[in-house]
Structure 1
Amino acid sequence: MSGKDETESRKIRTEAELRAERLAKTLRDNLQRRKQQARARRAGDADETVGLPAAKKDESDG
């Protein structure tokens, strides 16, 4: 393989690699969010969220 061919093949990433990168970012973000919540609890501050977002009842549901 020439140097140019090798560089081009490195640029092309498979769907599995892209998915793994997205998953890793999501996991890092989740970990940071959980750490922030734990710090807030230790400091005695209230969590910014109220319940689960999916559990909120819509006012129009009656």
Structure 2
Amino acid sequence: MENKSDPTRKSGKPAPKGREERLKAALKANLARRKAQSRARSTSEGTDNKDE
């Protein structure tokens, strides 16, 4: 196999808008999911202590 550069990727140029939008949406979804997980953990920790 030869190492040929991908003609769609050009170094030094900004990323296409579509890719940036996808990354932005993925980052936002990831952050929301992590916040929800954190909230769920904090509420479950509070309920566990009541049983003791």
What TM-score bracket applies, with the shorter chain setting the length?
Answer: 0.5 to 0.7
**Unmatched 5+ residue regions in structure 2?**
48-52
Name which of 27, 35, 38 aligns with 1:33. 35
Q: Structure 1 segments of 4 or more deviating over 4 A?
A: none
- How many residues in Structure 1 have an aligned counterpart in Structure 2? 42
TM-score, scaled to structure 2: 0.63
**Unmatched 5+ residue regions in structure 1?**
46-62
More relative contact order, 1 or 2 (CA 8 Å, 6+ apart): 1
Percent identity between the two aligned chains: 17
- Output the aligned Cα RMSD: 2.6
